Amino acid sequence: MSSRYTFGGDEHIFVEVDEEMSLEAFFVSLSMTNAVRNANIKGVTEICPANASFQIKFDPDVIHPNDMMKELKRLEAESEQGDNVLETRIIEVPVFYQDPWTHDTLMRFRERHQDPDATDIEYAASINGYDSVEKFIEAHSGSPWFVSMVGFVSGLPFLYQMVDRSRQIQVPKYLRPRTDTPRQTVGYGGSFSCIYSVRGAGGYQMFGITPMPIYDPEQTVPYLKDFMVFFKPGDIVKFKPITREEYDAAIAQVQAGEFMPRIKNVRFSLSEFNADMDGTNAKLMEALYDR
């Protein structure tokens, strides 16, 4: 891995840590953006970590782009490749897989799909070698996921599966993007899951829907009172399959202002994870469920 620095016009520097996604590349992106934030460089206006890259926006009237570039390279040289430990949180996200709303939507856009005769999740299960949709849902909800980027639109998390690359789910995006996606759809594109924070256009395959609000500009949802966006890069997510009845009950709780996601603070070590993925994930589950 060797970072590539490039200018995005006169106001941005874009740094590609690696061409391909990996948790290692994500950790470099996260630690570099933290280092930039801590360095308090005058003129910096936006610090944006992404999956395997990051971007800094700055005011070139305050700092010359070449000096900004020098500062970033200096920070990279200084930052020790440490033990990649992250104090973070793990969150349980309930998912009603194969719900009627994303089903209605995907049926409206069949002509934009690779396999018009199957649903999105049937297609994803089949091309990833699962015998049944049930087995596929077990895989999607069985291991935890890393929030490796928040963006595209307001508060939308990109999630990266915490399993060996050989076991990772991969699904192409729609051939042509849809013009509609229900709010809180759980989607999939490439090797990323996502949760659509708002209703709108989208190209990811649709697997289900969560009752859990993750973006609330009015900030009436109790756990979004302090800030309207729920996710931040570095969060860990565990999907939990739920039934229609459980979904309806959760929606009623949301409407009554009583829904609270299950959240636990955890410490994550990338080297421990790489040494023993299943063991590390089991420990994360213990922390989440107090076992």
- Contact residues toward another protein (CB under 8 A) are 6-12, 14, 16, 18-22, 33, 45-55, 57, 60-61, 64-66, 149-156, 158, 165, 170, 172-173, 189-192, 197-198, 200, 215, 217, 228-229, 232-233
Least Å distance, CB 174 to another protein, is: 12
Which DSSP state fits 215?
B
Q: Which residue has the tokens 């759809």?
A: 185
Q: Which is nearer to another protein, 201 or 282 (CB)?
A: 201
Least Å distance, CB 105 to another protein, is: 17
Q: Which is nearer to another protein, 4 or 244 (CB)?
A: 4
In angstroms, how far is CA 17 from the centroid of its own chain? 18
Least Å distance, CB 2 to another protein, is: 14
Q: Beta partners for 44? A: 58
Q: Which of 105, 121, 129, 146 is nearest to 239 (CA)?
A: 146
Least Å distance, CB 207 to another protein, is: 18
Q: Which is nearer to another protein, 113 or 133 (CB)?
A: 113
Least Å distance, CB 16 to another protein, is: 7
The 3-state secondary structure of 128-197 reads: CCCCCHHHHHHHHHHCCEEEEEECCCCCCEEEEECCCHHHCCCECCCCCCECCCCCCEEEEEECEEEECC
Q: Which residues contact 109 (CB under 8 A, 6 or more apart)?
A: 174, 178, 179, 180
Least Å distance, CB 106 to another protein, is: 20
Distances in Å between the Cα of 150 and the Cα atoms of 147, 185, 232 are 7, 15, 6
Q: Which is nearer to another protein, 154 or 274 (CB)?
A: 154
- Both tokens of 41, joined, read 């460089």
What span, in angstroms and rounded, lies between the C-alpha atoms of 254 and 248? 10
Q: Which is nearer to another protein, 99 or 216 (CB)?
A: 216
Q: Which is nearer to another protein, 49 or 144 (CB)?
A: 49
